[in-house]
Structure formats: C-alpha cells, structure tokens
Amino acid sequence: MADLSDLNPAHIPVLPDEVIEALQPAPGGVYVDCTAGLGGHAAMIARHITPGGVIVLNDLDQNNLESAKSLVGKSLGGGEKLLGVRGNFSDLPRTLKAEGIRADMVLADLGFASSQVDDPERGLSFRFSGPLDMRLDRDSVVTAAELVNTLPEHELVRILRDFGEEKHARRIASKLVAEREVVPITTTDRLADIVRSAVPGPRRSIHPATKTFQALRIAVNDELGSLEALLRVIGIALGKLAKGEQTWLRPGARIAFIAFHSLEDRPVKRAMSGWAADALVHNCTRKPIEASEGELATNPRSRSAKMRVCTAGAGTPG
Ligand SMILES: C[S@@+](CC[C@H](N)C(=O)[O-])C[C@H]1O[C@@H](n2cnc3c(N)ncnc32)[C@H](O)[C@@H]1O
C-alpha cells in the first residue's frame, strides 16, 4: 500500500497504489514526473527509490513546482538527485538529454491540480467568482477572457464542440457573442450565467457550464496539442531504443498516463496501441486501470481517472 501520511491533504494523488504497482520503483531508480502538481505521486515514489535515485519534477506552474520540490525533498535521504523543471512536458526530453538523465519511470497525471482549480484567481471553476483566466502557465499570453471576447463565433463553436463535446455549442457561442457586444465577458460567474441562460430545458445532472469551462481550459492551455507532442517525443525515444540507440528512456522503462476524460484518454490509448503494434513497448494495460471502491469513497476526483501503462522495449519473445 502507498504511504500517504505525509502528503498535503489538499492533493492526495489519484490511484496511489496502482501507480506504485505500475511503475515498480526500486532503490536507485530514475523517476520523471511530467506533471509534478503538488508532488503527491513523486513523494510516494521518492520513498522507494532511495538510496541513490533521481527524481525529475516538471510542471508548467511555478507554484506547484515549488510545492512539489519541497514535499519530495522531505522524502529523500540526501544522496539522491532532485531536479525541478518548469515548462511544458513536451520539452522535457531536451532537459533530460542535456542532464544525461535516462528514465526508468515516466508518469503524466494529466489536467490540473486542486491548488489551481480551487484558487478563484485562476478562473478555472464556475464554483468561484474570479477573473476569466484559466492559464496553468501564468506566463503564457492568452487567457480565456481573450478567447471568449475576441474569437469569431464559428471558432467558439469549434472549441465548445471539440474540447467540451458540448451539444449546445451553437447556442452558447451565439449567446456569448451577443453578450460580449454589450459588455466584455471577464469573470467566471458572468460566463456561467450566460451559458446557463443559453442552455434550454430541464436541470442537468452536471452544471450547464461544466463543458464550456472544460473546453476553454483545454483551448487556453493547448492541452491536447501538448499531450500529442508528449506522446510524439516518447514515440521517438522508443523508436531510438528499438534501434539500440541511447536516449532519455531506458529499455524496460515504465510509462504511465492518467487521463480524466475521453479527449485525453483516446490519444493515449491510440499511441500505446501504435507503439505495441510496432513492437516498441510490451506489457500494455488492455483496459485502463481505474480507482477502487475504497478510493472512490475518499477521493471524488478519482472517479474519472483512467491509467494506461506500458513498458519500453519489445520484451522477451515467447
Ligand atoms: C493532476 S495535476 C498532477 C498532480 C500530481 N500527480 C500530484 O500527485 O500532486 C496536473 C499538473 O500538471 C500540470 N500540467 C498540465 N499540463 C502540463 C503541461 N503541458 N506541461 C507541464 N505540466 C502540465 C498542471 O499545472 C498540474 O500541476
């Protein structure tokens, strides 16, 4: 069982036991966390790789990266290497190569952390009143308010459909365009009110603005583009391994992705199936790993988590 006793209660990681089982951390291991968040998974892994391992923490969000580094530092004995990298996970291989780091374990726990969604200033949730921002990387330029107030209507429709699977995309986009002409839409509550007023019919099981918020967040942060880019750089590294070339992944490295909705899970599934078909990986999970009843009872965010895992290299035949 994963030991969660030291972790920030604000962010208990999802699928803790399953991640340990999937990555099989061992002393001296090299762990690359593409999405460090508050360091929950990394702190768990850190206890297994001592003495002598390496932990690389990556995140777009400087505050999260600092929290993760501080938590993980407490779980290490002193002889290990801890490296924090701020940036998009698709750029991580460049740093790993420059540092001469070769990963035994790679984890990408996609999406946002509780520290981000629960901060009204980040504008990620309709549960709080705040500026319509939604940037995970606070140094990036485009906010959700900019998209909502400047994109042509057909672009808004596309975002709502493609990234939110919102069936009322046309109605919502048309209402947004009408409303922004009256006064620019700059807050989460106004956006939520406009969406609510645009969507017809009886009460839905989820808040009417859920899909609009998801869609805008994905667009602002180019989440699917970054995911595709990460899958691509992993695929390139796997291809090099297959040719016997040295790269930032070690043969036998375990690679795990945790997705929270089908738009994230689909490309992961597709990429892993392609790698398996090309004999670049083995031991792939056939079905995604999901939370146990016990976890579901204590961590509501785990409800939609789906983890897929594979092992780098073709494996031993027979
Ligand atoms: C679900 S949280 C990770 C939680 C972490 N596993 C833990 O146990 O605390 C996702 C994190 O990924 C970061 N993130 C999202 N997209 C990213 C990207 N393209 N590159 C780097 N970090 C990203 C977010 O800022 C957030 O901190």
- pLDDT per position as a tens digit, 204-255: 678 899 999 999 999 999 999 999 999 999 999 999 999 999 999 999 999 9
pLDDT of residue 278: 97
Could you tell me the distance, in angstroms and rounded to a whole number, from the CA of residue 87 to the centre of ligand 1?
Answer: 10
Rounded to whole angstroms, the Cα distance separating 238 from 232 reads 10
* CB of 260 closer than 6 angstroms to any ligand 1 atom: no
Measured CA angle at 254 (ends 74, 39), to 5 deg: 25
Listed in order, the ranges of the chain carrying CATH 1.10.150.170 are: 122-220
Note whether 214 and 126 are within 8 A (CB): no
Residue 266 neighbours by CB under 8 Å, 6+ apart: none
* CB of 302 closer than 6 angstroms to any ligand 1 atom: no
Per-residue pLDDT of the chain (318 residues; tens, 9 = 90+): 666 666 666 668 999 999 999 999 999 999 999 999 999 999 999 999 999 999 999 999 999 999 999 999 998 888 899 999 999 999 999 999 999 999 999 999 999 998 999 999 999 999 999 999 999 999 999 999 999 999 999 999 999 999 999 999 999 999 999 999 999 999 999 999 999 999 976 666 788 999 999 999 999 999 999 999 999 999 999 999 999 999 999 999 999 999 999 999 999 999 999 999 999 999 999 999 999 999 999 998 899 999 999 999 987 754
CA nearest neighbour of 264 among 211, 299, 308:
308
Phi first, then psi: what are they for 2, rounded to 5°? -70, 140
Could you tell me the distance, in angstroms and rounded to a whole number, from the CA of residue 22 to the centre of ligand 1?
Answer: 19
* CB of 64 closer than 6 angstroms to any ligand 1 atom: yes
pLDDT of residue 318: 47
For residue 310, the cross-strand partners are 255
Assign domain 9-110+223-312 to its CATH superfamily. Vaccinia Virus protein VP39 (3.40.50.150)
* CB of 16 closer than 6 angstroms to any ligand 1 atom: no
CATH 1.10.150.170 fits 122-220, yes or no: yes
Q: Whose CA is nearest to atom 13 of ligand 1?
A: 35
Strand order in the sheet with 30-33: 81-86, 54-59, 30-33, 103-109, 249-259, 306-312, 281-282
* CB of 60 closer than 6 angstroms to any ligand 1 atom: yes
Rounded to whole angstroms, the Cα distance separating 303 from 45 reads 22
Listed in order, the ranges of the chain carrying CATH 3.40.50.150 are: 9-110+223-312
Q: Which atom of ligand 1 is nearest to the CA of 38?
A: 9
Note whether 237 and 310 are within 8 A (CB): no
In the numeric block, which tokens belong to residue 80? 């290990």
DSSP letters spanning 127-164 = TS--BS---SSTTSS--HHHHHHHS-HHHHHHHHHHHH
Could you tell me the distance, in angstroms and rounded to a whole number, from the CA of residue 43 to the centre of ligand 1?
Answer: 14
In the numeric block, which tokens belong to residue 291? 């939370």
* CB of 13 closer than 6 angstroms to any ligand 1 atom: yes
* CB of 264 closer than 6 angstroms to any ligand 1 atom: no
Q: Whose CA is nearest to atom 2 of ligand 1?
A: 113
* CB of 217 closer than 6 angstroms to any ligand 1 atom: no
Rounded to whole angstroms, the Cα distance separating 227 from 207 reads 27
In the numeric block, which tokens belong to residue 76? 């290490």
Q: Which atom of ligand 1 is nearest to the CA of 40?
A: 8
* CB of 75 closer than 6 angstroms to any ligand 1 atom: no
> What distances in angstroms separate CA 156 from CA 97, 147, 159, 180, 201, one per listed residue?
39, 8, 5, 13, 22
Mutate to test the pocket of ligand 1, among 8, 17, 60 (most ligand atoms within 8 A of CB): 60
Q: DSSP assignment, residue 233? A: H
